[in-house]
């Protein structure tokens, strides 16, 4: 479980297909996040919960199954790209964002970036529009592992405001128009919507 509060920015090194089942994915993690890191723990990479399989100093390897590769934005990464990192939450930790599982449901494309001084607004469109039913004004959403609030919905697009602290502490300052972000929908919203749909279909 994660909170959607990014703890550091890693550097993407490579991704390669190992066989028909999975890919090897490699990043360089900041020293500050290396404490007690070991094989088998879970780390959020751009909001996707991945299991550590190898460690060499601050070089960390993970495996991606084919479905994760297909759904998430890892396929678009180039060497040197920045990755939002969060270590798994511990009991007693402060939950500054919202409860995040690390299960990516789809991606969203940045349609426009509205900049004002040192803040900005992302205008996004889901790759799969069927998931728009789970997005609500003032509702939680997780973008590349960052817990955010939906500030506006217009047609098939939704807006999120990015404050200066978030720009400084995440990879959002590197994002451009047409970049793709990993999306995790708030599970409570998804459950309520699906339950209501089933109820009214009866």
49-103 pLDDT, tens digit each: 999 999 999 999 999 999 999 999 999 999 999 999 999 877 666 666 677 888 9
Region class of 47: left (phi > 0), else alpha (psi between -120 and 50), else beta: left
| pLDDT at 144 > cutoff 90 | yes
Given pLDDT bands bounded at 50, 70 and 90, which one contains residue 118?
confident
Tell me: the pLDDT tens digits for 8-52? 999 999 999 999 899 999 999 999 889 889 999 999 999 999 999
3-state class (DSSP) for residue 133 = helix
> H or E element: which one contains 67?
helix 66-71
- The answer for residues whose C-beta is within 8 angstroms of residue 114's C-beta and 6 or more apart is 120, 121, 123
Q: Please determine whether the domains at 8-87 and 106-201 fall in the same fold group of CATH.
A: yes
Chain mean pLDDT for the chain:
91
pTM: 0.91
User: Rounded to 10 degrees, what is the CA torsion of 131, 164, 27, 30?
Assistant: -140
> H or E element: which one contains 8?
strand 8-17
The domain limits of the chain are: 8-87, 106-201
106-201 CATH choice from 2.40.30.20, 3.30.310.50, 3.30.1330.10, 2.40.30.110: 2.40.30.20
Q: What is the mean pLDDT of residues 135-151?
A: 94
Q: What is the mean pLDDT of residues 167-191?
A: 91
Q: What is the mean pLDDT of residues 106-131?
A: 94
CB 134 within 8 A of CB 140: no
Cα-flanking dihedrals φ and ψ of residue 142, to 5°?
-115, 120
What pLDDT does 189 receive?
A: 77
What pLDDT does 150 receive?
A: 96
Q: What is the mean pLDDT of residues 125-154?
A: 93
- The answer for residues whose C-beta is within 8 angstroms of residue 29's C-beta and 6 or more apart is 8, 10, 37, 58, 59, 60, 85
Taking the domain 8-87, which CATH number applies? 2.40.30.20
Q: Percent of the chain, pLDDT > 70?
A: 96
* Cross-strand pairs, 45: 48, 85
Given pLDDT bands bounded at 50, 70 and 90, which one contains residue 135?
very high
Cα–Cα dist 200/56, whole Å: 54
């Amino acid at each position: 479980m994660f909170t959607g509060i990014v703890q550091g920015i890693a550097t993407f090194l490579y991704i390669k297909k190992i066989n028909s089942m999975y890919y090897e994915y490699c990043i360089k993690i900041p020293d500050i996040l290396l404490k007690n890191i070991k094989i088998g723990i879970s780390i959020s990479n751009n909001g996707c919960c991945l299991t550590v399989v190898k460690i060499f100093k601050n070089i960390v390897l993970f495996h991606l199954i084919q479905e994760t590769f297909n759904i998430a934005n890892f396929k678009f990464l180039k060497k040197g790209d920045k990755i939002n990192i969060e270590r798994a939450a511990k009991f007693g930790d402060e939950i500054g964002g919202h409860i995040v599982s690390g299960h990516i449901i789809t991606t969203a494309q940045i349609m426009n970036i509205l900049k004002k001084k040192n803040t900005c607004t992302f205008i996004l469109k889901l790759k799969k529009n069927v998931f728009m039913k789970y997005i609500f004004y003032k509702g939680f959403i997780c973008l590349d592992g960052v817990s955010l609030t939906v500030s506006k919905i217009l047609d098939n697009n939704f807006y999120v405001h990015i404050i200066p602290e978030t720009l400084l502490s995440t990879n959002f300052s590197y994002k451009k128009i047409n970049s793709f972000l990993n999306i995790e929908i708030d599970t409570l919203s998804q459950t309520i919507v699906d339950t209501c749909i089933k109820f009214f279909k009866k």
